[in-house]
Every structure is written in structure tokens, then in C-alpha cells.
With several copies, the nearest count.
Chain A
Amino acid sequence: MNSAKETPKKPSARAPMDVLWQDESGERALHEEALVIDIAGFEGPLDLLLHLARTQKVDLSRISVLALAEQYIAFIERARSIRIELAADYLVMAAWLAFLKSRLLIPQQAKDEGPSGEEMASSLAFRLKRLEAMREAATRLINRNRLGRDVFARGAPEHIPVERHSGYEASLYDLLSAYASLRQRQAVMQVTIEKRTVWSLADARLILARMLGDMVDWTALDHFLLRYMTSPRERATAIASSFAASLEMVREGRLEIRQDGAFAPIYVRQGPNPMSAEKLAELEAARG
């Protein structure tokens, strides 16, 4: 539940435009089961709330905000219990609704600052009504007679009236997109993007092999790797690759490995079949 990013959206899969165009109500055919799984289909928490409100089957001005808040929170809990990644927006809304719920249930103290539960509830109801009104407006708009679909312009225009004196045609959009793409192009050309350091398995194997000679006794894997870690950012990749390489080397008998418990330090030492100097030279040569 730590995803702060937007969940991937696939509105077309769930609410295809065709539905919106043809279906006046704009109601989406969604049953409860799908709802639980398909959070990605919602365009944010308000969309989800609106959907839940719709299932109350009452006029939006008469919905019970309290019931709605409970439904939403329950929904989020269910989503979390089956480990659906939720965008931060949804969690923030859940927290806000929990706060709203407490405000509605507990009488407000006289000196209490901030909006009352009723104010918050009516603000939420307003926002839902407004969003729904905009959806309906969008549907009505798109169902109007549209140029090029229902209504047509002259097919063989003879003349383009030039209203501007400049004699040149360009829109603000043209101008801005030209500028943005130019600047972006130049920025990409001028900025050297820092190469991300990643330890390959081969790198890790070579480094481990080099170290083998020095290792007299059990040595903590990450402890000796520190020598090779120039920056903390390399830590994760170095440990991951070294660990994978060490397993392979254990299999070959070049290394022994020991860990006393989960998350305890990992120790390594030379195995029964150490790497020969020639083999090491070969590896070094291969790496260049």
C-alpha cells in the first residue's frame, strides 16, 4: 500500500466511449465483484465515490454521506485486504472520509476549529453533484449534431477568407508545441544523462573471485563488498548481484556460504574448489 503513483488506467476497457456516446444515462455496467478487482478503471476517488453513490439508487442531493463514507472505507479496506495497489489519492480520500465520519458522529466542541461535519458532508455532496452534472453535460455535448458527423461543411471550398493582415497562418498551439519540442530536443542533446551503475552478474563474479584469496575466515558479504561500493546508491545492485553470483560459485564449490537466520548477515569464505590464478586471469581478460 505504498504506491504513490497512479495506478495504471485502462478506462477504455471498462468504460468504452461507445457506451458514453450511446447510453444516455452514462451508467456503467459494473457488478460488485468487478468493482473490487477493477479499481484501475476508476478515474480517481471522486469517480469511485460517485459510483458508490449511484448504487445507493437515490437522488444525489439525498444521499447519505455517512453511509457513503462507510461504503468507501469498506471498499478500500477490502481492496487492501486483497493487496490491490491503491493510488495515494484513494487512501487520502479514505482518511478524509474517516475524519468526516468522526465529525458527523461526534458532536462538535464549541471551541473546535475547522468545518463542521455537516459542512464537510455538504461540500462532498456538492462535489459529487457537480462531477455528475459535468458528466451528463459531456454526454449531451457529444451527442449534439457534430460537424463532420451529422452536419457538413462545403465540400469544395473555393476560398479561404484571410482575416489577419499577416498573411501567415499559425495557431498558439502550433507555436507552443514547436517551442516545447525544440526545447526538449535541445535539453536532451545538451544534458549528459548519468549512467546508472548496475553490477552485472559477471562483474560480481569477478569481484568475488578476486576477493577469494584474501578471505581466510568467514567474512560478511556486505562488509567486504563495501570496498567496492563507491556510492551508497550502488549498494542495492552490488548486494543483489553479488548474492546471485555467490550462489553460483557455491554450486561450483569455489565458495561456502552461511547465514544464521532470516535477515541475519550472510557470511562467505573460500570453498573446497578455489578458483585457480589462470582461471581468474581468464575472467579478468574477458572483462577487459
Chain B
Amino acid sequence: MADPQHHLPGIADNTEPQREADARLELEAERIVEALVFASAQPVSEAYMAQRLPKGTDVNRIMQRLKGFYAGRGVNLLQVDDHWAFRTAADLSFVVQTDENEIKKLSRAALEVLAIIAYHQPVTRAEIEDIRGVQTSRGTLDVLMEAGWVRFRGRRRTPGRPVTIGTTRDFLDHFGLEEIRDLPGMEELKGAGLLAGRVPSNFQIPIPLGDDALEDDEDPITQLDLEELGLLTPRGEEAE
């Protein structure tokens, strides 16, 4: 669909009806995505919406506009990855809350592991244990997986091919994050080198990856990781 603003001036007799037609189509597209997203409790992907819109519709642009439209209202349009969902405005939680609104409480260990996975993903279990300095007790990862917040992502191409763990879209949805880069304090932590999986002599900072696609990061570059991490730590010595 053509953007009305790109029409050239001077051919007004032609553009005026055209503009109206565009606006009508645009409104119709807005209505369709509103209906789609409103009808679902789960975030709806842009790809899914695109299938239900006229070919070539710029879904993201429409969603961004709708997001602005709902910004001040009681129900907001939120982006989660490349998915969209309507959610009640956070400042209204006091009215909406009922007794049934029970959410699962996490143990301190589970919460810590969740944060480490979120900020360091894709991360292996050995790395989680290195950061915490303690073995992850049975059931901790289990709880997070069952909640649907973390998942096995793949394997790192290092000796032993350890399985890597990352967060899910449900995680983003649950904590109201558009993408993993929106994690609180991410920039500061990166800047301080605290998300680097290694000791300070090596100031290489991996950019956390939240996407579903496996990244080049799961390549031999990170080979240093495991060995290096283990070497200077007591846990590593213990393992020897």
C-alpha cells in the first residue's frame, strides 16, 4: 500500500480519491489486526497477521501506529519480539487485581538462574554454575522450563557440545519486555563488562541474543569460554 504522504502535489484530482481509498484500506487493516490481536490471549505474530491482510501490507507500520493510538488508554498494545498483544495498562493493576491473580513464586535460586540465563544467553549449565559458584540443584531449571520461561536452544560448537539455554517469548511477555535488549540494566551491565563470560583481562562483551535463530555466537569463538572460565575458579579446579 502506498503511503499517502509520498504522493506528488499537483495531480490533486487523482490523489484525493486515491488518498481516501488508501485511508479506508489502512483503517480496514487496522481493524483486522485489532480484531486478531484482541481476540487472542497470546501474542500474535506479524507473519500471522500479514497472511490475513492484503498482500504487501506493512504490518509493522500499522502496529506501530495502533500502539500509539492505544498508548494512553486502559488497554495497551505491546510488542513482544515480532509478536503483538493487548495488555491492561500497568498503572491500573490496582483496579484489575482480584484474589485469583496468583502467580507462581520462584525460589531465590530459581530467580537467580533465570536472571543469569536472561542476561547471558545463550548460556550453558556449566556457565550458570560458574557465575553462581554452586551447583544448580535439581528442579531449579525444571521449574523455569515448566513455567515456559527458558528452553534448550541448541548446542555450542565446543568440545563436549554443551546444550545452551535461553529465554522464551513467554518470558518476554510475562515480564513485559519487547526484546531481550530491554532487560533492566542491560546497558550498564554490558558497559561494566559483567556480562562477559570471562575474567576481566579479556574485555570482550557478547551481545545477548534473544532471537530464536541460533547465532554465530555458538561457534568456536566461544571455545575459550569453558576452559577459561573453569581455570581460575575453584569449581574448575575441583573438577580437575
Chain B min CB distance to A141 (Å): 6
B103 near A145 with CB under 8 A, answer no
Given contacts A9-B137, A120-B232, A148-B174, contact A20 B108 (CB under 8 A): yes
| Known A88-B238, A168-B143; contact A175-B232, beta-carbon cutoff 8 A | no
Binary B-proximity of A73-84 (CB < 8 A = 1, otherwise 0) = 000000000000
Chain A interface, number of residues (Cβ within 8 angstroms): 83
Question: Beyond A122-B200, A137-B115, A179-B112, is A166–B148 a contact (Cβ under 8 Å)?
Answer: yes
A147 to B88, CA, bound (A): 9
Q: Provide the residues of chain A in CB contact with B64, threshold 8 Å.
A: none
A184 to B128, CA, bound (A): 15
Residues of chain A from 111 to 125 with CB closer than 8 A to chain B in the complex: 115, 119-120, 122-123
Given A154-B39, A186-B132, A172 contacting B99 (CB threshold 8 A): no
Chain B 72-110: CB-based contact to A (< 8 A → 1; otherwise 0): 000000000000011111100100110111111111110
Per-position binary interface string of chain A over residues 88-130, scored 1 when its CB falls under 8 Å from any chain B CB and 0 otherwise: 1100110110000000000000000001000110110011011
Q: Which residues of the partner chain B approach A93 to less than 8 Å between Cβ atoms? A: 234
Any B CB within 8 A of the CB of A232: no
Which residue of the partner chain, among B39, B108, B192, contacts A153 with CB atoms under 8 Å?
Answer: B39
A-B contact count (CB 8 A): 291
**A140 interfacial contact with B, CB 8 Å:** yes
Which of A156-164, A197-205, A209-217, A250-258 is the contact stretch?
A156-164
Chain B residues packing against A (C-beta within 8 Å): 35-36, 38-42, 44-45, 47-48, 85-90, 93, 96-97, 99-109, 111-112, 114-116, 118-119, 131-135, 137, 143, 145-149, 151-152, 170, 173-177, 183-185, 189, 192, 194-196, 199-203, 205, 232-235, 237-238
Chain A residues at the B interface, C-beta cutoff of 8 Å: 6, 9, 11-12, 15, 17, 20, 43-47, 49, 88-89, 92-93, 95-96, 115, 119-120, 122-123, 126-127, 129-131, 133-138, 140-142, 144-184, 186-187, 189, 191
